[in-house]
Amino acid sequence: MKRIICILSMLLCMAAETVMAARAPVSEATEECLGCHSSIHPGIVEEWQNSRHARITPREALGVTGLARKVSARTVPDYLLPTAVGCAECHTLNAKVHADTFEHNGVSIHLAVSPRDCATCHTEEAVRYSGNLMAHARKNLAANPLYQDLQQQILGRPVRREGKLTFEPPAAETRQSGCFYCHGTRLEVVGMETRDTVLGEMEFPRLSGWPNQGVGRVNTDGSLGSCAACHTRHAFSIEMARKPHTCRECHVGPDVPAYKVYASSKHGNIYAAMNRQWDFSAVPWTVGKDFTAPTCATCHISLVVNTDGQVLARRTHEMSGRLAWRIFGLIYAHPHPMNPDTTRIRNKSGQPLPTDFDGTYAAEYLIDAGEQVRRTETMQAICLGCHSASWVRGHWKRFERTIRETRSDIRAATGIMADIWARGFAKGPDSDDSPFNEAIERTWCDAWLFYANTVRFSAAMAGGGDYSVFADGRYQLSRRIQELNDWLELRNQLFPPTPPIALRGLPEKPYRVQ
Amino acid sequence: MKRIICILSMLLCMAAETVMAARAPVSEATEECLGCHSSIHPGIVEEWQNSRHARITPREALGVTGLARKVSARTVPDYLLPTAVGCAECHTLNAKVHADTFEHNGVSIHLAVSPRDCATCHTEEAVRYSGNLMAHARKNLAANPLYQDLQQQILGRPVRREGKLTFEPPAAETRQSGCFYCHGTRLEVVGMETRDTVLGEMEFPRLSGWPNQGVGRVNTDGSLGSCAACHTRHAFSIEMARKPHTCRECHVGPDVPAYKVYASSKHGNIYAAMNRQWDFSAVPWTVGKDFTAPTCATCHISLVVNTDGQVLARRTHEMSGRLAWRIFGLIYAHPHPMNPDTTRIRNKSGQPLPTDFDGTYAAEYLIDAGEQVRRTETMQAICLGCHSASWVRGHWKRFERTIRETRSDIRAATGIMADIWARGFAKGPDSDDSPFNEAIERTWCDAWLFYANTVRFSAAMAGGGDYSVFADGRYQLSRRIQELNDWLELRNQLFPPTPPIALRGLPEKPYRVQ
Amino acid sequence: MKRIICILSMLLCMAAETVMAARAPVSEATEECLGCHSSIHPGIVEEWQNSRHARITPREALGVTGLARKVSARTVPDYLLPTAVGCAECHTLNAKVHADTFEHNGVSIHLAVSPRDCATCHTEEAVRYSGNLMAHARKNLAANPLYQDLQQQILGRPVRREGKLTFEPPAAETRQSGCFYCHGTRLEVVGMETRDTVLGEMEFPRLSGWPNQGVGRVNTDGSLGSCAACHTRHAFSIEMARKPHTCRECHVGPDVPAYKVYASSKHGNIYAAMNRQWDFSAVPWTVGKDFTAPTCATCHISLVVNTDGQVLARRTHEMSGRLAWRIFGLIYAHPHPMNPDTTRIRNKSGQPLPTDFDGTYAAEYLIDAGEQVRRTETMQAICLGCHSASWVRGHWKRFERTIRETRSDIRAATGIMADIWARGFAKGPDSDDSPFNEAIERTWCDAWLFYANTVRFSAAMAGGGDYSVFADGRYQLSRRIQELNDWLELRNQLFPPTPPIALRGLPEKPYRVQ
């Protein structure tokens, strides 16, 4: 009897595997790729074999109706309709506009697939994403002289001459494994090379900036971003993108501790304890049924419905559509920029910053109060799937209070820093020097770049008391302000001004763009 | 053949789901709640639908005998016996003593369910919990002037006048999203309000301190705590409470790094790698069979038996019953307080602290050596389920050595701090000033609040070498002591005393309660 | 019908469990152990019951052929062949060479099973491991006077006399719960003792250094290491050792943040999201089929094959065989030591260090460029299972650039530190004083011990931008260099040299071994 049951059990398992493994027909071109690459690169080939791209044809995908539909293009080129979305399908798309297109066994392929390629089927996602701050993450960093200064003082090579420490510009590789790892590199063909392969000598383009999957990567077709940043190659799964570990890749440090705060929140607790029972592939994603606590994607991107099938939030790849405030990365929190290209922004002092050093908004470049309300309500519709109106309002009241308070805290910190510059104890913007290249200036940076950020993340995500207080929170924020004061007061005592000057508070021209 | 097996397989799955989803009858009142709220708040309704509360009636639960019984009340009111524990059952309990009771569609309900409500069925758990330090977490913080001073210097708003930096009292919202997020808020009805709902205008009470699930929340019926802090609403599952992610919500920062230390310990490693195969819902919880490494709950709360069904540890919600030492949150480690209300404690200098600034115990308020032995043995009975007596003794010897050594380390740190106050380089308790509002005082705080704590957690939980040494451990502890000395010595050199005074060591009256 | 299906379903589950639980015959001796210990220590007995050791006999294991074979011994003593590998089998092995062997119910057993014992079946693994740096982790720390000095300044007891702070040697227990927790203790029998047990009074050896499972433990048979460090007792599972949580036990702090960096990398993301679907017990381990992203073990230890069954990397327990560079724990990164006993190394100044304070390699003790290439290629063979040659080369270029740059950064930091020593503002090696016992010296230590390490780990493991920049990365590295300069410049201003001396740069004899 036992044997019979065992055999039956195994048969059931095999049957289930067969169902899972059902695959769409593969094009001849892709078949040819697989001929070699399933041996050479088994890891990525197997990832793809288990992916939805290998199990469904665009024709079938286009046949899905209603909210379950994943392909947003109205039509897909005929030749792509009948076969799986395989190697050849993606790596040959738009061959003419890719600078890295080359002949490979008689086929014109390119190495780096871009959002523009993915747009063939996922048009709306690509369009939305291009309006996202993330798509512009590289340029917004690389073309902003103030950020470039900060980058140089962090990544640069230290040189000391006669007691003066300077940081020389960092190497390209350092920038690529540093800031641009997340912000994205620029992919450029810098030549061709011959490589010895198992099939003999072959020619390949040499790409500078490769490898990279940063969210603002500049592709060889000029498009911005890398879908694989979240939909990891070659599975491109919605499941992985919906889990918080994907976001952790770039959102874990003290400058942007979203993952840490989430993991210590009630939401993160529920996720960690219960996610095995959730369905991360369901489209649309039904609150309560498919999951019982939000992940990053739930609040920021996903199409979320209630158990009646009513839409709580529409799918978006333009995350800022649900965000009223920009709470990290800048000296002060501020309403979200209107345009994802932030290099256009100028504060009233003419700097490429969304606020002045005293916190004043560069208001004409930022969304207005009405838009903030609209975005807040878009986000709150998701909260209300589990929480009462008074719960949500109570939470938001604390969050917005925290925005105001951390702005005020950083004004205090910046006031002390400005006095230090005014007394000449450090050389700052007034002296056309970097505000980031001296130890005491970093004390000031810590306050806004790490601790005010963390406090705001904790408030935004109800992330537990620790990240609000003792874990890179208000304890450390108040401490840095105390340290700024301590440092200044010792020097005031040792080197009193002659004649005594009044402390000036915030400088008028805190930083000049060169 | 394949098809038949597939169909059979699906039928089996459906059957299994049916078994899982078997639900107890629902009361008419709860049925009415569900009528609207299953659409309005699908998330929490679905959580409840999958919960044990929806699957068993109190009558059935009272029928469970022996160690498997979860309902500790001897009797439950008759009207509750025949139906599931649903919305109406909990939100209408003890209506008269809840200040937030209001009329809602003809029913008197209250928003915040309290431990006193849960005690209807879970009497012993509620009673035990009320004797727990956690139940008093809010009051112990809010009614201790020394802690209130620390809170203000951390959460307060910085103001700088003529080189002097002070911190003004923090806003209520800041305290709620800060310390009281974990310690618990006070829920108070501050009025009624009309809200536009899908059913038209309705009246609701406005609660200050809402939302909150802190362990020491003061409820609208005067009871203390929130069961949902660990048994997350509305699943109230034992599984989630037994996993370490729940404790992480409040025990993750450098002040109380229990989760981090656990996650890096051998126990945490086994949990992370193997917990999928464990049974987190079994009552009693059998070591070896249901789990092979402890989680937080195993050692601190759960009813644990061996494979013979013998009790290794009885269930408790008064965690201190298994704890001989209090190893975090205070300047020095010390024997556990006898009474969970720590506001009564006075050290020999009259301060509301369990030790003096020199480490002397406020012994009359703390458990004695005999009780420490009893508690240690209660805990060790669990260790012995997997470890030999010599293993356990070796571990404990190191832990108790660490207690003594960190006490001695902090005496050294406090000695330097006292000299700094004595020389007047900082204004401390002797000058009736806060000991927490200057940068150098925070250097001293770091030593005991973060690093001595972390070292002790690492020793207590066999938490790996890193948290003992380089990760907020002894490296940082010794460093802070060096920094205190460095700071003092520079000033001693710059501003020598005239005439030279002897350094005084620890002050006699280190801090006066105002 | 439902009932029938339910019953059938349950029967299937029971059958599956029966298959899982199939056990090998147990020896009489082990049967006797189990007689008592299954009640006394149910946790470890159940772990073993579920282990492969309980399910297969050495005879069956020796019958496995090809890459699937796990027993590397050619022959196993006859008496061990027919029964499971149980309590008695391991705890009686090599009884005569174990100093902790004692009579226990008529059997000569020893408490601590050693790699030499495990070598009875797993010969090659034990031999390889003994050539591993880890096997020597205790001695390399305990017998190096420079490291012992660092240990004392971190773990020692602070004593302050007349403004001078010193750290007295730490207690044995402190070293055991500190550095030696990971590096390994020395197990020594320090006497016998009588203990009251459930079976009456019994004699047991007293072991100093117990408990411990450090990688370089010195065992009672003189062998080095503890297999249980990774193959946790008494499951000894390959599954657990292959998951990254095992490595996290010792590789999580800022000095060696491998786990943190991994968890935030693309590889760690895939692991966290998808590992439920992987097979962690398969031998050999097939990329793509059994797993789709590497864990620590994949790259550093495991036997990895492609889907054609071709070997990408052979199993090793000598991790350095895949490592060209040693990137943590020392002042400068450098080529791996040739010999795992690093106490033999002397730099050109005669110190027991693989480089001088100026970074110069102690080249005769380190592997040469050819060996570095071989090791790099061994590692890259695994990368190439999923990545193209250009991807791998791009990654490596950045990694090696980071090696060079952090060496240069630390030269700059050490130059400032040397000037501080030269000016007499701190007492360093030139004055025969510890380079680790003053606050400013720790600023220098942070730069190389924490931040340069973290930057290198991030580059080595493609670990995301945060650990490269803001999370203990280049931001903090550059900051520490700024702090060193700031500290020195204030003192240069306050105490100018008379007559002015030239700053000397790196000292000639930076540290003398006493």
Q: What is the mean pLDDT of each run of 10 residues along chain A (514 residues)?
A: 48 49 90 95 95 97 97 97 98 97 96 98 98 97 97 97 93 96 98 92 96 98 98 96 97 97 97 97 97 98 96 96 96 98 96 96 98 98 96 97 97 97 95 96 98 98 89 98 98 85 47 34
Size of interface A-C (CB pairs under 8 A): 198
Nearest CA in chain B to C228: B266
| One-letter amino acid of B318 | E
- CA distances from residue A91 to A98, A113, A208, A480, B332 in whole angstroms, order as listed: 10, 6, 19, 51, 64
Residue ending a domain, among A197, A229, A261, is A229
- Residue C205 shares a structural domain with residue C86: yes
Rounded to whole angstroms, how far apart are CA atoms A45 and B467?
41
Interface probe with B: pick from A4, A390, A492, most Cβ of B within 10 Å: A390
CA B1 to mean position of chain CA atoms = 56
Q: Please name the member of C389, C468, C483 whose beta carbon is closest to the beta carbon of A177.
A: C468
C182/B466 Cβ within 8 A: yes
- Chains near A with 3+ CB pairs less than 8 A apart are B, C
A276/C398 Cβ within 8 A: no
pLDDT of residue B13: 47
Name which of B357-366, B492-501, C317-326, C494-503 the model is least confident about: C494-503
- CA distances from residue B90 to B54, B95, B109, B182, B220 in whole angstroms, order as listed: 12, 10, 9, 23, 14
Rounded to whole angstroms, how far apart are CA atoms C445 and B250?
32
Contact A269, A277 (CB under 8 A): no
Vertex C170 angle, CA C165 and C175, to 5°: 140
Q: What pTM does this model have?
A: 0.95
- Chains near B with 3+ CB pairs less than 8 A apart are A, C
Residue B7 lies in a domain: no
Instruction: State how many domains chain C has.
Output: 2
Structure tokens at B443: 């250097």
pLDDT of residue B501: 54
- Residue C335 shares a structural domain with residue C188: no
B440/A486 Cβ within 8 A: yes
What letters, b where the CB count within 10 A reaches 16 and e where it falls short, cover C340-353?
A: bebbebebebebbb
Chain A residues whose beta carbon lies within 8 Å of the beta carbon of residue B47: 288, 292
Chain position carrying tokens 């071709």? C310
- Residue C471 shares a structural domain with residue C325: yes
- Residue A181 shares a structural domain with residue A324: no
pLDDT at B505 over 60: no
- Residue A75 shares a structural domain with residue A184: yes
Nearest CA in chain B to A16: B6
SS3 content of chain B, % helix, strand, coil (to 5): 50, 10, 40
Contact B307, C38 (CB under 8 A): yes
pLDDT at B99 over 50: yes
Rounded to whole angstroms, how far apart are CA atoms B23 and B54?
6
Structure tokens at B51: 């919960």
Nearest CA in chain C to A491: C490
Size of interface B-C (CB pairs under 8 A): 198
What is the tens place of the pLDDT at every residue in C147-187?
999 999 999 999 999 889 999 999 999 999 999 999 999 99
% of residues, chain B, pLDDT over 90: 90
Q: Please name the member of B272, B386, B394 whose beta carbon is closest to the beta carbon of C43.
A: B386
Sign of CA dihedral A26, A31, A35, A37: negative
Rounded to whole angstroms, how far apart are CA atoms C156 and A230?
47
- Residue C327 shares a structural domain with residue C225: no
- Residue A322 shares a structural domain with residue A225: no
Closest by CA position to A327, among listed A475, A130, A133, A86: A133
pLDDT of residue B507: 46
Rounded to whole angstroms, how far apart are CA atoms C304 and C300?
10
Range of the domain at C457: 318-494
pLDDT of residue C162: 87
Residues 6 or more apart from B236 whose CB is under 8 A from it?
B51, B52, B53, B227, B228
Q: What is the mean pLDDT of residues B353-364?
A: 97
Structure tokens at A259: 């993952």
Residue A384 lies in a domain: yes
CATH number, domain containing residue C394: 1.20.850.10
A440/C466 Cβ within 8 A: no
Residue C174 lies in a domain: yes
Residue ending a domain, among C211, C229, C247, is C229
What is the block-wise mean pLDDT of chain C (514 residues), using blocks of 10 residues? Answer: 48 49 90 95 95 97 97 97 98 97 96 98 98 97 97 97 93 96 98 92 96 98 98 96 97 97 97 97 97 98 96 96 96 98 96 96 98 98 96 97 97 97 95 96 98 98 89 98 98 85 47 34
Antiparallel, parallel or unpaired: β A334-335 and B102-104: unpaired
Nearest CA in chain A to B45: A288
- Residue A71 shares a structural domain with residue A219: yes
Contact A126, A115 (CB under 8 A): yes
Residue predicted with more confidence, A10 or B389: B389
pLDDT of residue B498: 75
What is the tens place of the pLDDT at every residue in B189-213?
999 999 998 889 999 999 999 999 9
Rounded to whole angstroms, how far apart are CA atoms B350 and B362?
10
**Backbone φ/ψ region at C127: left (φ over 0), alpha (ψ -120 to 50), beta:** alpha
A263/B249 Cβ within 8 A: no
- Residue B118 shares a structural domain with residue B221: yes
Residue ending a domain, among B229, B256, B278, is B229
**Backbone φ/ψ region at B106: left (φ over 0), alpha (ψ -120 to 50), beta:** left
Residue A220 lies in a domain: yes
Contact C394, A210 (CB under 8 A): yes
Residue C184 lies in a domain: yes
Q: Please name the member of C268, C384, C401 whose beta carbon is closest to the beta carbon of A174.
A: C401
- Residue A215 shares a structural domain with residue A335: no
Longest dimension (CA), chain A: 102
- Band the pLDDT of B140: cuts 50, 70, 90: very high
- Residue B190 shares a structural domain with residue B325: no
Q: Please name the member of B310, B384, B481 whose beta carbon is closest to the beta carbon of C158.
A: B481
B385/C41 Cβ within 8 A: yes
Contact A323, A379 (CB under 8 A): yes
Three-state DSSP class for residue A270: helix
Structure tokens at C407: 């060496």
SS3 content of chain A, % helix, strand, coil (to 5): 50, 10, 40
Chain C residues whose beta carbon lies within 8 Å of the beta carbon of residue A197: 389
Closest by CA position to A115, among listed A224, A246, A208, A236: A224
Chain position carrying tokens 């108070």? B188
- Residue B224 shares a structural domain with residue B324: no
Chain C residues whose beta carbon lies within 8 Å of the beta carbon of residue B483: 439
pLDDT of residue B463: 80
